Structure 1
Amino acid sequence: MSGCPVISRESHDRWGGMAEREEQEALLEGSGDGDGAGERLRSTGESSGMSAVCDPSRFAHRLVVLLIMCFLGFGSYFCYDNPAALQIQVQRDMKVNTATFMELYAWYSWPNVILCFFGGFLIDRVFGIRLGTIIFSLFVCIGQVIFATGALCNAFWLMEAGRFVFGIGGESLAVAQNTYAVSWFKGKELNLVFGLQLSMSRVGSTVNMNIMGWIYSSIESMIGAAGPKTLGISLMIGAVTCLFSLACALILGYLDKRAEKILNKEQGKTGDVIKLSDVKDFSLSLWLIFLICVCYYVAIFPFIGLGKVFFMGKFQFSSQEASAVNSIVYIISAPLSPVFGFLVDKIGKNVIWVLSAVATTLAAHLILAFTFWTPWLAMSLMGISYSLLACALWPMVAFVVPEHQLGTAYGFMQSIQNLGLGVIAIAAGAIMDTRGYLFLEIFFVACLCGSLIAVVMLYFVDNMTGGDLNLSATKRRKLQRLTAIEKES
Structure 2
Amino acid sequence: MEYLNIDIKQYNLINSIYSIPNIIFPFFAGMISDKLGLRISILGFTLIMFLGIIIEYFATIQKSYIFVLIGVSIYGIGSESMSIIGCSFLSAWFFGKELSLSLGIYVTASYLGTVTANWTLPPLANIYDSITLPYLICVTVTFIALVCMIIMCRIDKKAQDIEFQIKLNNKQKLQQEQKNTPKAIINSTNEIVNFGIQDKEGTLNFSEFRVKSGIEGTEIEDNLTQDNSKYSETQEQINNNINNNQNQNKNQEENHEDAHEMHFSDITKLKNVQFWLINFIFCFVAAAFFPYLNNLNSILQEFYGQGPIQSGRILSVLTVEIAIFTTPLAFLTDKIGQKTYFYILSSFFLTCAFISHLIIPTCPDSSCSYFYIPIILVGISFSMLSAVAFASVPLIIRPKLLGTAFGLQDCLEQFGMAVSPIFVGHIMDYELQAGNYIFLYIYFLILAIIALVFSIWLHVYDQKKGGKLNKITQNENTHQPEEQKSLIQNQNQM
TM-score by length of 1: 0.70
For 2:58, the aligned partner's letter is: T
Residue 318 (structure 1) aligns with: 307
SS at match of 1:92: coil
Q: Is the Cα–Cα contact under 8 Å of residues 27 and 408 in structure 2 kept in the other structure? A: yes
SS at match of 1:96: coil
Of 156, 167, 179, 2:65 maps to: 156
Of 124, 133, 144, 1:244 maps to: 144
* Cα-Cα RMSD: 2.9
SS at match of 2:125: helix
For 1:439, the aligned partner's letter is: F
Residue 358 (structure 2) aligns with: 369
Q: Is the Cα–Cα contact under 8 Å of residues 175 and 270 in structure 1 kept in the other structure? A: no
SS at match of 2:262: coil
Q: Is the Cα–Cα contact under 8 Å of residues 300 and 306 in structure 2 kept in the other structure? A: yes
Residue 298 (structure 2) aligns with: 309
Tell me how far 1:291 sits from its aligned partner. 1.8
Residue 104 (structure 1) aligns with: 14
Q: Deviations over 1:427-463 (max 9, x none)?
A: 1111111124221111101111111122223333344
Q: Is the Cα–Cα contact under 8 Å of residues 259 and 401 in structure 2 kept in the other structure? A: no
> Structure 2 vs 1, CA of residues 321 and 138 (structure 1 numbering), >3 Å: closer, same or farther?
same
Of 428, 431, 436, 1:432 maps to: 428
Using the alignment, how far apart are the partners of 2:99 and 2:267 within structure 1?
Answer: 30
SS at match of 1:94: coil
Tell me how far 1:341 sits from its aligned partner. 0.7
Tell me how far 1:297 sits from its aligned partner. 1.1
Using the alignment, how far apart are the partners of 1:368 and 1:112 within structure 2?
Answer: 31
Using the alignment, how far apart are the partners of 1:256 and 1:284 within structure 2?
Answer: 35
Moved more, 241-250 or 403-412: 403-412
> Structure 2 vs 1, CA of residues 197 and 351 (structure 1 numbering), >3 Å: closer, same or farther?
closer
Tell me how far 1:157 sits from its aligned partner. 0.9
- Is 1:468 aligned to 2:464, yes or no? no
Using the alignment, how far apart are the partners of 2:134 and 2:389 within structure 1?
Answer: 37
Of 265, 281, 287, 1:292 maps to: 281
- Is 1:378 aligned to 2:374, yes or no? yes
Q: Is the Cα–Cα contact under 8 Å of residues 146 and 158 in structure 1 kept in the other structure? A: yes
> Structure 2 vs 1, CA of residues 100 and 275 (structure 1 numbering), >3 Å: closer, same or farther?
same
> Structure 2 vs 1, CA of residues 153 and 386 (structure 1 numbering), >3 Å: closer, same or farther?
same
For 1:329, the aligned partner's letter is: L
For 1:363, the aligned partner's letter is: C
Q: Is the Cα–Cα contact under 8 Å of residues 100 and 391 in structure 2 kept in the other structure? A: no
> Structure 2 vs 1, CA of residues 334 and 186 (structure 1 numbering), >3 Å: closer, same or farther?
same
Tell me how far 1:271 sits from its aligned partner. 1.9
Using the alignment, how far apart are the partners of 1:468 and 1:189 within structure 2?
Answer: 21
Using the alignment, how far apart are the partners of 2:157 and 2:267 within structure 1?
Answer: 37
Q: Is the Cα–Cα contact under 8 Å of residues 219 and 234 in structure 1 kept in the other structure? A: no
> Structure 2 vs 1, CA of residues 129 and 277 (structure 1 numbering), >3 Å: closer, same or farther?
closer
TM-score by length of 2: 0.69
- Is 1:121 aligned to 2:31, yes or no? yes
SS at match of 1:93: coil
Using the alignment, how far apart are the partners of 2:445 and 2:91 within structure 1?
Answer: 38
- Is 1:451 aligned to 2:451, yes or no? yes
SS at match of 2:63: coil
Tell me how far 1:196 sits from its aligned partner. 3.3
- Is 1:388 aligned to 2:384, yes or no? yes
> Structure 2 vs 1, CA of residues 106 and 258 (structure 1 numbering), >3 Å: closer, same or farther?
same
Using the alignment, how far apart are the partners of 2:279 and 2:96 within structure 1?
Answer: 29
Residue 346 (structure 2) aligns with: 357
For 1:101, the aligned partner's letter is: Y
| Residues 409-428 of structure 1: pairs in structure 2 closer than 5 A | 409-428=405-424
Residue 274 (structure 1) aligns with: 262
Using the alignment, how far apart are the partners of 2:387 and 2:98 within structure 1?
Answer: 17
Tell me how far 1:164 sits from its aligned partner. 0.9
Tell me how far 1:386 sits from its aligned partner. 0.9
For 2:427, the aligned partner's letter is: I
> Structure 2 vs 1, CA of residues 216 and 245 (structure 1 numbering), >3 Å: closer, same or farther?
same
> Structure 2 vs 1, CA of residues 258 and 450 (structure 1 numbering), >3 Å: closer, same or farther?
closer
Using the alignment, how far apart are the partners of 1:354 and 1:272 within structure 2?
Answer: 27
Using the alignment, how far apart are the partners of 1:394 and 1:182 within structure 2?
Answer: 11
For 1:371, the aligned partner's letter is: I
Q: Is the Cα–Cα contact under 8 Å of residues 354 and 389 in structure 1 kept in the other structure? A: yes
Of 135, 138, 144, 1:235 maps to: 135
Q: Is the Cα–Cα contact under 8 Å of residues 179 and 269 in structure 1 kept in the other structure? A: no
Q: Is the Cα–Cα contact under 8 Å of residues 396 and 469 in structure 1 kept in the other structure? A: no
Q: Deviations over 1:291-322 (max 9, x none)?
A: 21111111111111110110122221222221
Larger gyration radius, structure 1 or structure 2? 2
> Structure 2 vs 1, CA of residues 249 and 290 (structure 1 numbering), >3 Å: closer, same or farther?
closer
Using the alignment, how far apart are the partners of 1:338 and 1:258 within structure 2?
Answer: 28
For 2:265, the aligned partner's letter is: S
For 1:459, the aligned partner's letter is: H
Using the alignment, how far apart are the partners of 1:441 and 1:95 within structure 2?
Answer: 26
Tell me how far 1:176 sits from its aligned partner. 3.6
SS at match of 1:435: helix
Of 70, 75, 92, 2:2 maps to: 92
Using the alignment, how far apart are the partners of 1:257 and 1:402 within structure 2?
Answer: 25
Q: Deviations over 1:215-243 (max 9, x none)?
A: 112322xxxxxxxxx33343223211111
Residue 50 (structure 1) aligns with: none
> Structure 2 vs 1, CA of residues 341 and 168 (structure 1 numbering), >3 Å: closer, same or farther?
same
Using the alignment, how far apart are the partners of 1:461 and 1:99 within structure 2?
Answer: 40
Q: Is the Cα–Cα contact under 8 Å of residues 100 and 426 in structure 1 kept in the other structure? A: no
Q: Is the Cα–Cα contact under 8 Å of residues 333 and 388 in structure 2 kept in the other structure? A: yes
Using the alignment, how far apart are the partners of 1:145 and 1:165 within structure 2?
Answer: 10
Q: Is the Cα–Cα contact under 8 Å of residues 295 and 448 in structure 1 kept in the other structure? A: yes
Q: Is the Cα–Cα contact under 8 Å of residues 284 and 448 in structure 2 kept in the other structure? A: yes
Using the alignment, how far apart are the partners of 1:455 and 1:158 within structure 2?
Answer: 40
Q: Is the Cα–Cα contact under 8 Å of residues 150 and 232 in structure 1 kept in the other structure? A: no
- Is 1:135 aligned to 2:131, yes or no? no
> Structure 2 vs 1, CA of residues 425 and 469 (structure 1 numbering), >3 Å: closer, same or farther?
farther
Using the alignment, how far apart are the partners of 1:416 and 1:262 within structure 2?
Answer: 38
Q: Is the Cα–Cα contact under 8 Å of residues 26 and 410 in structure 2 kept in the other structure? A: yes
